Amino acid sequence: MKFTKMHGCGNDYIYIDGAAERIAQEEKPELVRVLSDRHFGIGGDGVIFINPSAEADFEMEMYNADGSRAEMCGNGIRCVAKYVYDKGLTDKEEIDIVSAGVVKHIVLETAAGKAVRAKVNMGRPELRAEKIPVTALGETVIGEEIEAAQRTWKMTCVSMGNPHAVVFADDTAQLALESIGPCFERHARFPKRINTEFVRVIDRRNVEMRVWERGAGETLACGTGCCAAVVACVLGGLTDRAVTVHVRGGAIDIEWDEESGDVYMTGPAETVFEGEIALPAAADK
Protein backbone atom coordinates (compact mmCIF):
# COMPACT_ATOMS: atom_id res chain seq x y z
CA MET A 1 0.00 0.00 0.00
CA LYS A 2 1.32 3.45 -0.93
CA PHE A 3 1.31 6.22 1.67
CA THR A 4 2.53 9.75 2.28
CA LYS A 5 3.77 11.00 5.65
CA MET A 6 2.88 14.67 6.25
CA HIS A 7 2.71 17.06 9.17
CA GLY A 8 1.43 20.47 10.20
CA CYS A 9 3.67 21.94 12.92
CA GLY A 10 4.74 18.42 13.91
CA ASN A 11 1.19 17.03 14.13
CA ASP A 12 1.96 14.09 11.84
CA TYR A 13 -0.38 11.72 10.04
CA ILE A 14 -0.15 9.00 7.45
CA TYR A 15 -2.11 9.96 4.33
CA ILE A 16 -3.62 7.34 2.03
CA ASP A 17 -5.40 7.84 -1.28
CA GLY A 18 -8.71 6.13 -0.56
CA ALA A 19 -9.60 5.95 -4.25
CA ALA A 20 -6.43 4.03 -5.10
CA GLU A 21 -6.07 1.91 -1.97
CA ARG A 22 -9.25 -0.01 -1.24
CA ILE A 23 -9.39 -1.02 2.42
CA ALA A 24 -12.47 -2.68 3.93
CA GLN A 25 -14.11 -0.32 6.42
CA GLU A 26 -14.12 -2.84 9.23
CA GLU A 27 -10.36 -3.38 8.81
CA LYS A 28 -9.40 0.27 9.11
CA PRO A 29 -9.21 0.66 12.93
CA GLU A 30 -6.69 -2.16 13.34
CA LEU A 31 -4.76 -1.03 10.24
CA VAL A 32 -4.56 2.48 11.70
CA ARG A 33 -3.18 1.14 14.99
CA VAL A 34 -0.51 -0.85 13.15
CA LEU A 35 0.52 1.97 10.82
CA SER A 36 0.57 4.62 13.57
CA ASP A 37 2.90 2.65 15.84
CA ARG A 38 6.18 4.58 16.00
CA HIS A 39 8.24 1.44 16.68
CA PHE A 40 6.66 -1.25 14.52
CA GLY A 41 4.82 0.79 11.89
CA ILE A 42 5.29 4.02 9.97
CA GLY A 43 4.55 6.18 13.00
CA GLY A 44 2.12 9.05 13.36
CA ASP A 45 -0.64 10.68 15.37
CA GLY A 46 -3.12 8.77 13.19
CA VAL A 47 -4.15 7.98 9.62
CA ILE A 48 -6.14 10.08 7.18
CA PHE A 49 -7.80 8.59 4.10
CA ILE A 50 -8.42 11.02 1.23
CA ASN A 51 -11.58 9.93 -0.56
CA PRO A 52 -13.76 11.10 -3.46
CA SER A 53 -16.81 13.10 -2.37
CA ALA A 54 -20.18 13.99 -3.89
CA GLU A 55 -20.65 17.02 -1.61
CA ALA A 56 -17.18 18.58 -1.76
CA ASP A 57 -13.98 18.35 -3.78
CA PHE A 58 -12.62 15.64 -1.46
CA GLU A 59 -13.44 13.83 1.77
CA MET A 60 -11.10 13.58 4.78
CA GLU A 61 -11.67 10.34 6.72
CA MET A 62 -9.65 10.70 9.90
CA TYR A 63 -8.57 8.19 12.53
CA ASN A 64 -6.65 8.71 15.76
CA ALA A 65 -3.60 6.56 16.48
CA ASP A 66 -5.69 4.24 18.67
CA GLY A 67 -8.00 3.46 15.73
CA SER A 68 -10.90 5.62 16.87
CA ARG A 69 -12.64 7.94 14.41
CA ALA A 70 -12.33 11.69 14.80
CA GLU A 71 -14.51 14.39 13.31
CA MET A 72 -11.99 17.09 12.43
CA CYS A 73 -8.27 17.87 12.39
CA GLY A 74 -7.08 21.37 11.57
CA ASN A 75 -3.51 20.37 10.78
CA GLY A 76 -4.76 17.33 8.92
CA ILE A 77 -7.14 19.20 6.65
CA ARG A 78 -4.37 21.61 5.61
CA CYS A 79 -2.22 18.61 4.68
CA VAL A 80 -5.08 17.02 2.73
CA ALA A 81 -5.37 20.22 0.70
CA LYS A 82 -1.62 20.19 0.03
CA TYR A 83 -1.73 16.49 -0.91
CA VAL A 84 -4.43 16.86 -3.55
CA TYR A 85 -2.85 20.01 -4.99
CA ASP A 86 0.74 18.77 -5.06
CA LYS A 87 -0.27 15.45 -6.64
CA GLY A 88 -2.33 17.13 -9.35
CA LEU A 89 -5.65 15.71 -8.14
CA THR A 90 -6.92 19.29 -8.44
CA ASP A 91 -5.56 22.49 -9.92
CA LYS A 92 -7.69 24.69 -7.68
CA GLU A 93 -6.08 26.84 -5.01
CA GLU A 94 -9.40 27.10 -3.20
CA ILE A 95 -10.69 23.69 -2.16
CA ASP A 96 -13.70 22.36 -0.27
CA ILE A 97 -13.05 19.31 1.91
CA VAL A 98 -15.71 17.46 3.88
CA SER A 99 -15.02 15.60 7.13
CA ALA A 100 -17.71 13.86 9.17
CA GLY A 101 -20.37 15.57 7.07
CA VAL A 102 -19.05 19.11 7.56
CA VAL A 103 -17.48 21.01 4.64
CA LYS A 104 -14.52 23.34 5.20
CA HIS A 105 -13.20 25.89 2.69
CA ILE A 106 -9.42 26.06 2.29
CA VAL A 107 -7.35 28.69 0.50
CA LEU A 108 -3.83 27.56 -0.41
CA GLU A 109 -0.62 29.56 -0.51
CA THR A 110 1.61 28.09 -3.20
CA ALA A 111 5.26 28.44 -4.27
CA ALA A 112 7.04 26.74 -7.19
CA GLY A 113 3.94 24.68 -7.96
CA LYS A 114 3.56 23.31 -4.43
CA ALA A 115 1.24 24.25 -1.59
CA VAL A 116 3.16 25.53 1.44
CA ARG A 117 0.51 27.04 3.71
CA ALA A 118 -3.24 27.01 3.94
CA LYS A 119 -5.97 29.16 5.44
CA VAL A 120 -9.04 27.25 6.58
CA ASN A 121 -12.45 28.62 7.49
CA MET A 122 -13.10 26.42 10.52
CA GLY A 123 -16.62 27.79 11.00
CA ARG A 124 -18.29 29.04 14.13
CA PRO A 125 -17.31 27.62 17.49
CA GLU A 126 -19.97 25.62 19.31
CA LEU A 127 -20.33 26.66 22.96
CA ARG A 128 -23.50 24.79 23.93
CA ALA A 129 -22.48 22.16 26.46
CA GLU A 130 -24.82 19.46 25.14
CA LYS A 131 -23.39 19.84 21.62
CA ILE A 132 -19.70 19.64 22.62
CA PRO A 133 -20.56 17.41 24.62
CA VAL A 134 -19.76 18.11 28.27
CA THR A 135 -21.97 17.68 31.30
CA ALA A 136 -22.72 21.06 32.84
CA LEU A 137 -25.14 22.84 35.12
CA GLY A 138 -25.75 25.61 32.59
CA GLU A 139 -25.95 25.94 28.82
CA THR A 140 -22.21 26.67 28.44
CA VAL A 141 -18.95 25.93 30.26
CA ILE A 142 -16.89 29.13 30.44
CA GLY A 143 -14.34 29.56 33.21
CA GLU A 144 -15.90 26.66 35.12
CA GLU A 145 -14.05 24.62 37.73
CA ILE A 146 -13.19 20.95 37.20
CA GLU A 147 -11.40 18.51 39.49
CA ALA A 148 -8.79 16.49 37.62
CA ALA A 149 -5.36 15.04 38.40
CA GLN A 150 -5.77 15.92 42.09
CA ARG A 151 -6.18 19.65 41.55
CA THR A 152 -8.79 22.22 40.59
CA TRP A 153 -8.65 23.82 37.15
CA LYS A 154 -10.76 26.42 35.39
CA MET A 155 -11.83 25.36 31.93
CA THR A 156 -13.75 26.66 28.95
CA CYS A 157 -15.27 24.05 26.65
CA VAL A 158 -15.56 24.57 22.90
CA SER A 159 -16.31 22.39 19.90
CA MET A 160 -14.58 23.14 16.61
CA GLY A 161 -16.17 20.09 15.04
CA ASN A 162 -14.53 18.05 17.80
CA PRO A 163 -14.60 18.57 21.58
CA HIS A 164 -12.07 20.70 23.50
CA ALA A 165 -11.48 21.74 27.08
CA VAL A 166 -9.19 24.76 27.39
CA VAL A 167 -7.46 25.30 30.73
CA PHE A 168 -5.04 28.06 31.62
CA ALA A 169 -1.71 27.63 33.37
CA ASP A 170 1.08 29.93 34.51
CA ASP A 171 3.72 27.50 33.21
CA THR A 172 2.86 24.93 30.54
CA ALA A 173 6.45 23.69 30.11
CA GLN A 174 6.55 22.01 33.52
CA LEU A 175 3.15 20.31 33.31
CA ALA A 176 3.32 16.50 33.48
CA LEU A 177 0.90 15.96 30.60
CA GLU A 178 1.55 12.22 30.51
CA SER A 179 -0.28 11.95 33.84
CA ILE A 180 -2.61 14.97 33.64
CA GLY A 181 -3.84 14.45 30.06
CA PRO A 182 -5.52 11.06 30.57
CA CYS A 183 -7.38 12.41 33.63
CA PHE A 184 -9.06 14.98 31.40
CA GLU A 185 -9.50 12.73 28.36
CA ARG A 186 -11.53 10.11 30.25
CA HIS A 187 -13.12 12.38 32.84
CA ALA A 188 -16.75 11.53 33.57
CA ARG A 189 -17.88 14.95 32.37
CA PHE A 190 -16.87 14.17 28.77
CA PRO A 191 -19.05 11.38 27.34
CA LYS A 192 -17.10 11.29 24.05
CA ARG A 193 -13.72 11.96 25.68
CA ILE A 194 -12.00 15.30 25.19
CA ASN A 195 -9.01 17.09 23.68
CA THR A 196 -7.40 19.30 26.31
CA GLU A 197 -5.40 22.47 25.68
CA PHE A 198 -3.11 23.86 28.37
CA VAL A 199 -2.61 27.54 27.60
CA ARG A 200 -0.33 30.30 28.87
CA VAL A 201 -1.10 33.83 27.70
CA ILE A 202 2.05 35.70 26.62
CA ASP A 203 0.38 38.95 25.52
CA ARG A 204 -2.74 40.12 23.69
CA ARG A 205 -1.63 38.55 20.39
CA ASN A 206 0.43 35.54 21.47
CA VAL A 207 -0.24 32.45 23.57
CA GLU A 208 1.68 29.27 24.29
CA MET A 209 -0.10 25.92 24.19
CA ARG A 210 0.45 22.24 24.85
CA VAL A 211 -2.23 19.74 23.93
CA TRP A 212 -3.36 16.26 24.95
CA GLU A 213 -5.45 14.73 22.15
CA ARG A 214 -7.94 11.96 22.76
CA GLY A 215 -6.74 8.74 21.21
CA ALA A 216 -3.24 10.08 20.49
CA GLY A 217 -1.76 11.55 23.68
CA GLU A 218 0.39 14.68 23.64
CA THR A 219 0.95 15.96 20.11
CA LEU A 220 3.22 18.74 18.88
CA ALA A 221 0.25 20.73 17.56
CA CYS A 222 -3.52 20.66 17.21
CA GLY A 223 -5.20 23.00 14.73
CA THR A 224 -8.70 22.75 16.15
CA GLY A 225 -7.18 23.05 19.61
CA CYS A 226 -5.50 26.32 18.62
CA CYS A 227 -8.88 27.58 17.43
CA ALA A 228 -10.56 26.53 20.68
CA ALA A 229 -7.79 28.12 22.74
CA VAL A 230 -8.22 31.50 21.04
CA VAL A 231 -12.00 31.36 21.43
CA ALA A 232 -11.53 30.65 25.14
CA CYS A 233 -9.02 33.50 25.44
CA VAL A 234 -11.37 35.97 23.76
CA LEU A 235 -14.31 34.86 25.91
CA GLY A 236 -12.17 35.43 28.97
CA GLY A 237 -11.01 38.85 27.79
CA LEU A 238 -7.39 37.68 27.75
CA THR A 239 -6.41 38.34 24.12
CA ASP A 240 -7.40 40.09 20.93
CA ARG A 241 -9.27 38.17 18.23
CA ALA A 242 -6.18 37.62 16.05
CA VAL A 243 -3.63 35.52 17.91
CA THR A 244 -0.53 33.47 17.11
CA VAL A 245 -0.61 30.18 19.00
CA HIS A 246 2.86 28.85 19.75
CA VAL A 247 2.82 25.06 19.98
CA ARG A 248 5.70 22.65 20.46
CA GLY A 249 5.95 22.09 16.70
CA GLY A 250 5.74 25.69 15.49
CA ALA A 251 3.12 28.44 15.28
CA ILE A 252 -0.42 28.68 13.93
CA ASP A 253 -2.28 31.94 13.28
CA ILE A 254 -5.90 32.07 14.45
CA GLU A 255 -8.49 34.79 13.92
CA TRP A 256 -12.01 34.76 15.35
CA ASP A 257 -13.86 37.13 13.02
CA GLU A 258 -16.25 39.26 15.02
CA GLU A 259 -18.63 40.02 12.14
CA SER A 260 -19.15 36.53 10.75
CA GLY A 261 -18.41 34.58 13.91
CA ASP A 262 -16.16 32.22 11.91
CA VAL A 263 -12.72 31.12 13.10
CA TYR A 264 -9.90 31.18 10.53
CA MET A 265 -6.79 29.05 10.92
CA THR A 266 -3.61 29.63 8.89
CA GLY A 267 -0.55 27.40 9.10
CA PRO A 268 2.01 25.30 7.26
CA ALA A 269 1.63 21.88 5.65
CA GLU A 270 4.67 19.76 4.84
CA THR A 271 5.42 16.43 3.20
CA VAL A 272 7.99 14.32 5.06
CA PHE A 273 8.36 11.23 2.87
CA GLU A 274 6.47 8.74 0.72
CA GLY A 275 6.69 4.98 0.53
CA GLU A 276 5.02 1.60 0.35
CA ILE A 277 4.26 -0.79 3.17
CA ALA A 278 3.04 -4.38 3.20
CA LEU A 279 -0.49 -4.56 4.56
CA PRO A 280 -1.31 -6.78 7.54
CA ALA A 281 -2.91 -10.00 6.31
CA ALA A 282 -6.43 -9.03 7.42
CA ALA A 283 -6.36 -5.79 5.45
CA ASP A 284 -4.67 -7.18 2.37
CA LYS A 285 -7.72 -8.24 0.37
Q: What is the pLDDT of residues 167-212, one digit of tens each?
A: 999 999 999 999 999 999 999 999 999 999 999 999 999 999 999 9
What is the DSSP code (8-state) at residue 191?
T
CATH of the domain at 69: 3.10.310.10
Closest CA to 97 of 107, 87, 111: 107
What integer pLDDT is reported at residue 284 of this predicted model? 52
Say if residue 154's pLDDT is above 80. Answer: yes
What is the domain count for the chain?
2
Residue 179: enclosing H or E segment and its boundaries? helix 177-185
**Co-location of 134 and 208 in the same domain:** yes
Give, in order, the Cα–Cα distances in Å from 55 to each of 17, 74, 99: 18, 19, 10
What integer pLDDT is reported at residue 25 of this predicted model? 96
What integer pLDDT is reported at residue 199 of this predicted model? 98
What integer pLDDT is reported at residue 281 of this predicted model? 66
Residue 153: enclosing H or E segment and its boundaries? strand 151-159
**Co-location of 189 and 109 in the same domain:** no
Structural domain of 240: 129-261
Report if residue 283 sits inside a domain. Answer: no
Report if residue 211 sits inside a domain. Answer: yes
Q: Which of 9, 73, 157, 233 is labelled catalytic?
A: 73
**Co-location of 41 and 154 in the same domain:** no
Q: Is the pTM of this model over 0.85?
A: yes
**Co-location of 20 and 62 in the same domain:** yes
Report if residue 53 sits inside a domain. Answer: yes
What integer pLDDT is reported at residue 72 of this predicted model? 96
Say if residue 282's pLDDT is above 60. Answer: no
Give catalytic status of residue 73 as yes or no.
yes
Q: Which of 79, 157, 222, 233 is labelled catalytic?
A: 222
Average pLDDT on 33-57 reads 97
Question: 283 pLDDT band (50/70/90 cuts)?
Answer: low
Give catalytic status of residue 227 as yes or no.
no
d(CA 149, CA 177): 10
Give, in order, the Cα–Cα distances in Å from 210 to each of 169, 174, 176, 197, 199: 10, 11, 11, 6, 7
Question: 78 pLDDT band (50/70/90 cuts)?
Answer: very high
Q: What is the pLDDT of residues 218-257, one digit of tens each?
A: 999 999 999 999 999 999 999 999 999 999 999 999 999 9
Question: 279 pLDDT band (50/70/90 cuts)?
Answer: confident
Residue 24: how many CB atoms within 10 A of its CB? 10
